[in-house]
Homo-oligomer: A and B are copies of this chain.
Amino acid sequence: MKGVILSINPQTTIIDLSHRIPSHAVEDGAYVWRSCYRYFPDGTVHVAIVDPGVGSERRPLVAKSSRYFFFAPDNGLLTHVFDQEAEVEVRQVENKQYRLDSEGHTFDGRDVFAPAAAWLTKNQSFSSYGRVVGDPYRFKIAQPHWEQSALVGEVVYVDAFGNLITNLFLSHVKEVREFTKRPNPLIRIANHSIDGLVGSYTEGDRTAPHALINSDGQLEIFCKESSASVLLQVSRHEAVKLS
């Protein structure tokens, strides 16, 4: 893909966000993308590809927000972008001028997305890419909800260290504090109870899970110097209760 991009625009600065997203893990890819895209300069052209969807009937898409362009297959990867960015316009990538010819269709990253993205850095117009898409695929983003006297969220991502990142934000912790009139929330996950928050990964002992507010403002559950995912036998979608 990089050779294709540099052949079209040798001045491009190319940055790899992640090569660690497992095949088919569209929600993971969407989450990682969400967590970092906004740190890039205005005008950045983002490209994300996670199977399945590439090379199949899934349409290749390009989206335009006030700050960025985003290329991805129509498989849900853009879900968080739609959720976070205002006034996103989406088009199908179908202009054959921005495509490499090849006999098969297994490497759309190289043949479709890379050249299309590179031509956008050469000031091709957004509308020249193809027809407007009104119904791009979005998966459901889980939202915390109250069940009796607990605010129930869930694990939305397990990072490379096995830390459990939840959809509960500092604002949810404050909401629970106002309800319980206690400064420290009780956090329950998979038969474990965690009493309150610590300030960093180096606090607490190694015998129990701990929780903190991470640098994205999200409640995160970790085990000191080991994998909370392995130790608690927990993965994405596991419920996390605040009370």
A residues neighboring B (CB under 8 Å): 2-4, 6-7, 10, 13-15, 23-24, 36-41, 44, 51-58, 102-108, 110-111, 161, 170, 199-203, 212-218, 220, 225
If A14-B15, A56-B203 touch, whether A6 touches B217 (CB-CB below 8 Å) is: no
CB nearest to A46 among chain B residues: B3
- Which 4 pairs from chain A and chain B are nearest by CB? A3-B39, A107-B215, A56-B202, A3-B40
Q: How far is the CB of A67 from chain B (nearest CB, A)?
A: 11
Specify which of B7, B23, B107, B199 is in contact with A105 (CB 8 Å cutoff): B199
Specify which of B38, B40, B51, B217 is in contact with A102 (CB 8 Å cutoff): B217
CB nearest to A8 among chain B residues: B41
Classify the interface of chain A: helix, strand, loop or mixed: loop
20 intermolecular pairs with C-beta atoms under 8 Å apart: A2-B15, A3-B41, A3-B44, A10-B13, A10-B41, A14-B15, A23-B225, A24-B225, A56-B200, A103-B216, A103-B217, A104-B212, A104-B217, A105-B199, A105-B200, A106-B215, A106-B220, A107-B214, A107-B215, A110-B215
The oligomer's copy count stands at 3
| Interface contact B106-A201, CB-CB below 8 Å | yes
| Interface contact B40-A7, CB-CB below 8 Å | yes
Chain B hits for A58, CB < 8 A: 202
Chain B hits for A108, CB < 8 A: 215
| Interface contact B15-A214, CB-CB below 8 Å | no
CB nearest to A197 among chain B residues: B104
CB nearest to A109 among chain B residues: B215
Q: How far is the CB of A48 from chain B (nearest CB, A)?
A: 14
| Interface contact B215-A23, CB-CB below 8 Å | no
Chain B hits for A170, CB < 8 A: 103
Chain B hits for A6, CB < 8 A: 13, 15, 40-41
Chain B hits for A225, CB < 8 A: 23-24, 52
Interface centre among A14, A23, A52, A200, by most B CB within 10 Å? A200
Interface centre among A37, A103, A220, by most B CB within 10 Å? A103
